[in-house]
Structure formats: structure tokens, C-alpha cells
Amino acid sequence: MSIHPTAIVAATAVVPESCMVGPYCTVGPDVVLGEACELISHVVLDGHLKAGARNKFYSFACVGVAPQDLKYKGEPTGVAMGDDNVVRECVTISRGTTGGGGTTRVGNGCLIMAYTHIGHDSVVGDSCILANGATLAGHVIVEDFVTVGALNQVHQYCRIGKYAYTGGGTTVTQDVLPYSLTSARRETRAYGLNKVGLERRGFDRTRLRAIQHAYRYLLAGKLNTSQALEKLKSEGIATEDVTYLVEFIEKSERGVLK
């Protein structure tokens, strides 16, 4: 068994010899790990946590910690995880509560990215991806093969159906349909030139006027993007900045915000 001398592993914890426990990790007395699990460093495993084989926990992940629920009074609740999960940096997975069945569950083969929070009594299925900063409140159900986008907030008791994909920055307050692409409205747009910032970077009036002229075609006129680019190129007076702007737009694969 590879346990770093700075790690603290409770005498009653079950840690197979095939596991690796890195520096400054803490493994509580009721933790049971499967074969070939890896704790990189500074990992906290606590509560009645039972994890399957080949799970990998990155630095500062906290799994099985007490639920963020004022009704919780220290009852012996836990977390159950399957095999082959990757739990990235600063992930928090709270153990269950007596009011929610007592167990928070994560299936097999999930990628749980940095700063994700899985609240008490939630259930995450198999082969799910929870992107950076995804937040599941208590009692959330995420079915198999779901992708929860970065910085998503999922309200208590909501359910996300199989194979669904929720876009980044989406707040989920009702159940998400299986197979769906569900996302918050995208109303981000360019409002004009970053004039103050460019001045601070040393852009003189001549440079600024040339860029402002290009932006009038792109944002303020009645031309679509392709027409605006043709207009700018046909003038034959493009500065280095305008040439870069035109080339940037032409090379865009996803389109530009405007």
C-alpha cells in the first residue's frame, strides 16, 4: 500500500493495498475504498463513504463530508460511488440526510470537474459529465449520460433526464427533458469599442478612428457580417488593426458576437 507519511488514514478505514494515498490526505474511519483508487494530495474522504474501484480524487476534493443542511444533526449517513470516476480539484460531495434516504449516490465512469458541488441526497447516474462549477442542490437526480454545463445551478428536487445536455451558465428550476439540449438565453453582444481600455494601451486618435469606422459597419449599420467585411475590404484603406479585425472574423469557426 502506498500511503504518504503525511497522510492520516483512520485505523478502521478500508484501503486496499492497490490504492495510493498522497500527501496530506485524510481518510475517515468509516470510509471503504475499492481496488486501485488514487488520492492525489490534500483529499478529504469522510462519513460512511463507500467507493468502488479505480476512482481518482484530485487535490482538495472533499467527499462524504457533512451535508449543508441545518436539519442535519450528525446522523450516520453516507455517500456511495461506483467505479472509474474522476473527481477533480475542490469538488465537494455531501453525504445524505435521514430525510432524503441517507445516501448521496454517484454511478460509474463520471467526470466531475473542478469546483463542482453535489448536494446531499442527490443521485448522479453513469457516464455523466459535470463541468466546472456545476452545482446540484439537495435531492437532485441526474440520470445516465447527462452533461451538466459549467456554472449550472440545479434547484432542489429537479431531475435531468438521460442524455440531456445543459448549456453553460444555465439555472435549472424544473425537470430537464431527456435527450434535450437545454440552455439559458444567449443575449451577449458587442456594445461597441473598448475605447478607454485601448487608450490606456497607447492607441492614438488615428488608430481609434479607424477601428471605430470598422465597428460602425459591423455593429451600427444595416449590413450583415459578410457585407460589412466586403465593404471594409473594398475601401482599400484598412489599417493594421482593421486588417486584423477582418481576418479574425473570417477565421472564426463559431461565428462572432455582435
Residues labelled catalytic: 120-121, 138
Lookup result for grid cell 486588417: 243
Describe the crossing of helices 225-235 and 240-250 by its angle, rounded to 10 degrees. Answer: 150
- 3-class DSSP state for residue 206? helix
Phi-psi region of 95 (alpha: psi -120 to 50; beta: other; left: phi over 0): beta
CA angle 60, 8, 91 (to 5 degrees): 15
Q: b or e along 84-122 (b: 16 or more beta carbons within 10 Å of the residue's beta carbon)? A: bbbbbbbbbbbbbbebbebbbbbbbbbbbbbbbbbbbbb
Distance in angstroms (rounded) separating the CA atoms of residues 49 and 29: 10
